[in-house]
Structure 1
Amino acid sequence: MKTSIIKGTLMASMLALVTFACNDKFLQVPATGQLASDQLTSRAALDGLLISAYSQLNGRGYDQSAASLDWVRGDMSGGDANKGSNSGDFNALTPFQTYVSLNATNAEVNFKWRALYEGISRANMVLRLIPSAASDVTDADKKRISGEARFLRGHYYFMLKRQFNMVPYVDETVDYGTGVDKVPNTEDIWAKIEADFQFAQTNLPATQSASGRANSWAAASYLAKTYLYEKKYALAKALFDQIIASGTTASGVKYALVANYTDIFNAAKETNSESIFADQAAANTGSADNANPNLNLNFPYNTGSAGPAGCCGFFPPTFEMANSFRVNANGLPLLDGSYNSSANELVTDMGLASSAAFTPDAGPVDPRLDWSVGRRGLPYLDWSVHPGQDWIRDQTFAGPYSPKKFVFYKSQDKTLTDGSSWTDGYSAINYNFIRYADVLLMAAECEVEVGSLATSLNYVNLVRNRSANSAFWVKTAAGANAANYKIAPYTAFADQATARTAIQFERKLELSGEGHRFFDLVRWGVAAPVLNAFIAYESKKLPVAYAGAKFTAGRDEYLPIPQTQIDYQATDASGKKILTQNPGY
C-alpha cells in the first residue's frame, strides 16, 4: 500500500491541531469556532494548513468540472470523450462539448474558478504565517513548507491560466478582507507561475517522506511544462534533460516508465516510478471525500448485468478517439486521419441490443485501445466481458463505449473503494497531474524545436515500446490476445513537420482520457481546425449530443470569466468593473 497524505477539509485539519494541557492555562479558553494566530504558527499547525492546501487538488466540494482529472474541459472539450448518460442528465455539462452555449453564467465555470482560488487562498495562508512561525519551526521546516506552498500555488495558477487566460493574481501580501476584490486581470501571470515553481525547485528536497508531497523533481517538471506552454523550448529542454537523467546516487530518485501501462491506473500499484506528481486518493478513511470524489459518475450504466459502481454512464470515449487507435499493417498510427474513414473506423455495436449477435472489430489496433476504452465483447478489467448496450444508458446520445482508465477492479471493491457513500465509485485511484510518459513526450516536442530529431524519435519510441510488451496486452479468459494488437516504433522522422505530427498524435493516444487533449490543441494553435473536423465526424454518429456544436477561434480557447466573479469585484474610478471579460463572451 502507498504512504501518502490523507487529506481533509481545512476545519478538520485545524481541529486536529487543537490540544489542551493540564496546567494553569486551562482557564484561557479560545473563542468558540475561531483559531488565534498563535495557534496556527506551530510546526504541526503549519503542516496542517499545508495539508489543507493539498486537499483542494481534487476540487472537492465544487462539482465535476472542478475535478483534478479535468475530464470536463480537458477531455469533453478536447474530443476524447463526450458527456454521456442521456440528454437530460446533468445537461449543464453539455455546452463543454458544443462550445456555442458555454457562457459566463454557467455554474460549472464558476465552480472551476472557485475551486482553484480556494486552493490559492489556502497556500497563501501558509505563506502569510511562515514569517511569524513558532520556535519549534526550524529553518529547514520553513524552507520545505514554503516550497510546498509555493508549488501548490503555482499549480493552481497554472490551471487557472490555461482555463481562463487572463486572471487576477493574488498572493500572500493581499488583504483578503479589504483588497482581494480590487485585483484586476490585466497582467499576464506566466512569470509569477514560473517564479513559484523556481522557488519550489530550489527549496524542496529531491525526496519526501510521503508520496503525496511535491519534491524538487515535481517542481522542475512543472516549471518545464510552464516553459513549454510559453514556447520557451530551450529552457524547457534543459529541465526535461535533467528529469530524464534522474537517478543519481545523490538524488535518490529514478523516474521511468512502468512495464505495465495499466499499473498507472491501478490503485494497488499506482505509486511507482512513473508518477511525478499526483492527487492522492485513499478509501475507507472515514470520509468518502478522501477518495476520488469527482469521478463517481464515470462508470458504466449497468442495467442488464453487474458492473463497477452501477452508475452513471458519463465520460464515454468518443467514436473519433477510439478510431484513433487504428494502426496500419506495420503497427503505426494512421497520421493522415484516415482512421475515421469507412474503411478504417472501428466496428461497434451501435444500435444493437446486448442480446443480439456481435463480432468485435478484427482489424489491427494499438493495444492501448483496450486499456483505455471499454467496448463490447472484450474483457472489462476483471469484471466481465463488456456486454454492450446493457452498460450504456442511451447509445444514441453517449455512443457505444465506456470509460476504462479510472475504473477500479472488481477484486478491489470495498477495499480500494469507499463504501460509506451512495456509490462505490469513490475510489482510491490517484490522478497523475504529471507522469513520466508525459515528460518524455513534452521533451520530444522540445527536441523537435531546438534539439535533435533523433533524440525526439527516441523519446517517442520509448513510450511506444512500453506498450509493445505483449505480456501485458488485454487477454481473453483463455489467455489469448483479446484483439488484433499491433504496435511498432517509428523508424525515423523525415523532418520537423513529420515529427510534430507524430508527437502530437502520440500524446493523443498515450494520454487519452487524462485531461490533456483540449489544452494541447490550444497551445499548439490548432484547436479550431481539429475540433471542427472532429465535430463534423462525431455529429454524424451522435447528432443529438453535438447539435449546433461549433468551435469559434479567438473565443473558445478559454472559458469566460464567471459573471458572478465580475459582479463581486469592485469598480474603478469610471464605474467599470475591475475584471475584464474574455473576448467573445
Structure 2
Amino acid sequence: MKRTKITQYILILALAANSLSCSNDYLDETTYGEVAPSEMTKAENVERAIIAAYSVLNGQFDGASNAYNSPASNWSFGDVVSDDAYKGGGGTGDNNNIHQMEIFNTNASVLDVERKWMALYEGVKRSNEAIKLLNASEDFDPELKVQRHAELNFLRGHYYFELKKIYNHIPYIDEAALTVADYAKSNTEFTSEELWTKIEENFQTAYEGLPDTQTELGRPTKVAAKAYLTKCYLFQQEWQKVYDNSTEVINSQYGLLDDFQDVFLPENDNSKEVIFAVQHTVNDGQPDNYNGSIGDRLTAPGGPFYSQYGFHRPSQNLINTFKTDASGLPVENNINLTDADNVDPRLDITVGRPGIPYKDLDILYEASWARDLATYGPLAPKKRIVSANSSAFVNTWPYVNALNYYIIRYAEVVLWRAEAAVELDKLEEARTLVNQIRTRAANTETVKTLDGSEDAANYSIATYDTSWINKDAAREAVHLETRLELAMEGHRFFNLVRWGQAEEVINAYLEVEKTRRTHLTNANFIKGTHEYWPIPQRYIDSSPEGLITQNAGY
C-alpha cells in the first residue's frame, strides 16, 4: 500500500506515558529524550515532535499490544455499550472489563477507562510540547510553521473532543504548562460550555492556518477543521451553527463515493469521502506491525481466514433495524429478521450473517465462525474487516490491517446537516439530504451468491418520496438513517447521548435483548450516570486532594 512520509511514519514514534522520549526506529535518529536542549528546536527535531503528536491517534501510546483497551475506533466505548453490538470474545470473563462496561457496571478502576484517558492525555501532552518547540524554533520555515501550528491545534482539539464526549468533566491544559505541577488542573475549573469553547478555539485556529489540500496523507485540511468545528456545535445542539458551518464542507472537494462498499476498502481509505482519518500501515518495518489497526485487533471474525478473537459482535437488534418494507423503506419492529424479509443492502456489507458470502473470499459466512456462539450469537463484524486476500491484511499476530479509521467521513456531515435542517424547520432539505445517503445505498453493488447469479438476500431500499411535514417523524428518520449508515463505526452510543435518548433506547433494547442474550441479564442504564465514564481512580488518587471531582453516580 503506497503511503507518503507522514502516513508511513505517523505511528512509529512511541512515547512512554510519563516521558518525552521517542523511538529510535524513526529514520534511525537519536532518541528524542537524548537530544541536547539546544538541538530540540532545530526544524528536523521539531518535525519529529509533531509526528509524535500524530502517533497517538490510533490509541497506541506505550508500546503495549493492548491498544484494544483504548481504541481509536471506540468499538467498545461507542458500539458495545449501545444497542448495536455485544462485547463478544470467549465469554463474559474474556476482557471482563469490557463486559462490565457493556452491562453498565463500570467503575473508576476499569482498565479501559484508565487507558483511554491516558492515551488521549498523552496526545494532549505531545501536542502541547510540540507547540512549545515549534514556537521556540528559529530556523523553522515561517510559512510552514503556521501550518504545523494549525495541525497541532487540530490534533489537540481532537484529543480534547474525545475526552469531553467520553468523560465530560475534564482538566484543560495547553502549551502554557511548563512543569508536571502545571498539569495538575481541576476538572471543574471550566463549565461544560467553557470547555466546548476552548475545544472550538483549537479547530478555529486550525481552520485559519491549514491549507485547502495536503500533499501528505494524514495531515488535516482546512475543510477538515471546519468539519470538526461543525461536530463540536452538533454535540451542543447549536443547530444554526451546525447548518452554517456544514455549508463549506458540503460544497468542498469532499463527497460521497458512488458505492457504499468501496468506502471501506484499504485502497480507498483516503478517498474523497474521508475527511480525516487515523492512518494505518502494515509491513512497513515497524516491529509487530504496531502501525496497523492495533486497537481493533480483537475484532477479527474467526473462521478459516481470521483469528478467533471474535469481539465486537453485531446485536440482533441492529440487524433487525435493516429490515425494509415492500416499498423499500425502514421497518422498525425489532422482530427477528428472516430469510424472507426485505433488507437494506448495507446490512450484508456491515454484518457477517450465516449463509451470506463473506467479502471476496469465495466462502459463505457460517455460524460456526463465531466464538462462543451460545453467548453472543452467530453474527460478525464485516464493514471494517479487511479481506484476507488483501495485501493490507496481516494473518499473523497481532492480526492487524492497514484500513484507516475514519474519524469524520463526508456521509456523516450530510447527516449532521440533515439533523440541523430538521431542527430549523427545513424539513424538505433534510429529506433531500437523507435521500442522498439512501440513493448511494440503492446504487451500491449488492452482495451476490457465490456463483454471482443473483442477490444473496432480498435487497430493497428506496428514498423518501413523500414530503416531510411532521418534524418528529423527520427527526426520527434522520436518526435512523444515521444508525444504518454508521453502524459498527463507534458512533452509536455517543449519538444516543447527545440526542438525549440513551436511557430510553438502551433500556428498551435491554428489555428485549435479555430474552435473547443471557449475558445482558444484569445490565441496566441509569440516567444521569451512564452517559459518561468515570474519571480514572488512579488519576484522582495521584492528584492533590480535592482537585478532581468524580462524575455523578461513580
> 1:333 deviation in Å?
0.7
Aligned to 1:140: 143
Task: For 2:367 and 2:234, locate their aligned partners in 1 and report how far apart those are by CA, in whole Å.
Answer: 42
Aligned to 1:199: 205
Aligned to 1:87: 92
1:395 matches 2:373: yes
* Map 1:4-15 → 2, pairs under 5 A: 4=4, 5-6=7-8, 7=10, 8-10=12-14, 11-12=21-22
Structure 1 counterpart of 2:337, from 335, 340, 346: 346
Task: For 1:192 and 1:461, locate their aligned partners in 2 and report how far apart those are by CA, in whole Å.
Answer: 35
Aligned to 1:210: 216
Task: For 2:264 and 2:77, locate their aligned partners in 1 and report how far apart those are by CA, in whole Å.
Answer: 20
Structure 1 counterpart of 2:393, from 405, 410, 417: 417
> 1:523 deviation in Å?
0.3
Task: For 2:175 and 2:317, locate their aligned partners in 1 and report how far apart those are by CA, in whole Å.
Answer: 45
Structure 2 counterpart of 1:371, from 324, 349, 357: 349
Indicate conservation of the 8 Å contact 1:377/1:385, yes or no: no
> 1:215 deviation in Å?
0.9
Task: For 2:187 and 2:515, locate their aligned partners in 1 and report how far apart those are by CA, in whole Å.
Answer: 43
Residues 309-362 of structure 1 deviation map (CA, whole Å, 9 limit, x = unaligned): 22211111000001100011110112xx31x13xxx213xxxxxxxxxxxxx12
Indicate conservation of the 8 Å contact 1:561/1:581, yes or no: yes
> 1:58 deviation in Å?
0.9
Letter in 2 for 1:582: N
> 1:87 deviation in Å?
2.4
1:44 matches 2:44: yes
Aligned to 1:235: 241
Aligned to 2:448: 475
- Residue 522 and residue 2 in structure 1: after superposition, are their counterparts in 2 closer, same or farther (change >3 A)? farther
Residues 211-262 of structure 1 deviation map (CA, whole Å, 9 limit, x = unaligned): 200111110000001011111111121111111111xxxxxxx111111112
Aligned to 1:315: 312
Greater Cα offset, 277-286 or 403-412:
403-412
Indicate conservation of the 8 Å contact 1:13/1:49, yes or no: no
Task: For 1:383 and 1:582, locate their aligned partners in 2 and report how far apart those are by CA, in whole Å.
Answer: 47
Task: For 1:373 and 1:38, locate their aligned partners in 2 and report how far apart those are by CA, in whole Å.
Answer: 54
Letter in 1 for 2:482: R
Structure 2 counterpart of 1:245, from 237, 241, 251: 251
> 1:166 deviation in Å?
0.6
Indicate conservation of the 8 Å contact 1:298/1:312, yes or no: yes
Letter in 1 for 2:108: A
Give identity over the alignment, percent: 37
Task: For 1:184 and 1:269, locate their aligned partners in 2 and report how far apart those are by CA, in whole Å.
Answer: 40
Task: For 1:48 and 1:33, locate their aligned partners in 2 and report how far apart those are by CA, in whole Å.
Answer: 12
Aligned to 1:299: 300
Task: For 1:236 and 1:74, locate their aligned partners in 2 and report how far apart those are by CA, in whole Å.
Answer: 22
Higher Cα Rg: structure 1 or 2? Answer: 1
- Residue 474 and residue 176 in structure 1: after superposition, are their counterparts in 2 closer, same or farther (change >3 A)? farther
User: Does the residue aligned with 1:316 lie in a helix, a strand or coil?
Assistant: strand
> 1:263 deviation in Å?
1.6
Indicate conservation of the 8 Å contact 1:63/1:108, yes or no: no
Task: For 1:489 and 1:399, locate their aligned partners in 2 and report how far apart those are by CA, in whole Å.
Answer: 32
Letter in 2 for 1:279: V
Task: For 2:187 and 2:495, locate their aligned partners in 1 and report how far apart those are by CA, in whole Å.
Answer: 27
Indicate conservation of the 8 Å contact 1:473/1:481, yes or no: yes
Structure 1 counterpart of 2:188, from 181, 185, 188: 185
* Map 1:20-39 → 2, pairs under 5 A: 34-39=34-39
> 1:454 deviation in Å?
1.3
Task: For 1:426 and 1:193, locate their aligned partners in 2 and report how far apart those are by CA, in whole Å.
Answer: 32
1:122 matches 2:126: yes
> 1:18 deviation in Å?
7.7
> 1:493 deviation in Å?
1.5
Residues 126-168 of structure 1 deviation map (CA, whole Å, 9 limit, x = unaligned): 1111221132x12211111110000000000000000000100
> 1:451 deviation in Å?
5.4
Letter in 2 for 1:104: A
Aligned to 1:325: 322
- Residue 77 and residue 32 in structure 1: after superposition, are their counterparts in 2 closer, same or farther (change >3 A)? closer
Aligned to 2:18: none
| TM-score between the two structures when normalised by the length of structure 1 | 0.88
> 1:186 deviation in Å?
3.5
- Residue 467 and residue 565 in structure 1: after superposition, are their counterparts in 2 closer, same or farther (change >3 A)? same
Task: For 2:102 and 2:318, locate their aligned partners in 1 and report how far apart those are by CA, in whole Å.
Answer: 14
Aligned to 1:539: 514
Indicate conservation of the 8 Å contact 1:151/1:197, yes or no: yes
Indicate conservation of the 8 Å contact 1:163/1:558, yes or no: yes
Task: For 2:236 and 2:223, locate their aligned partners in 1 and report how far apart those are by CA, in whole Å.
Answer: 20
Indicate conservation of the 8 Å contact 2:22/2:32, yes or no: no
> 1:51 deviation in Å?
1.2
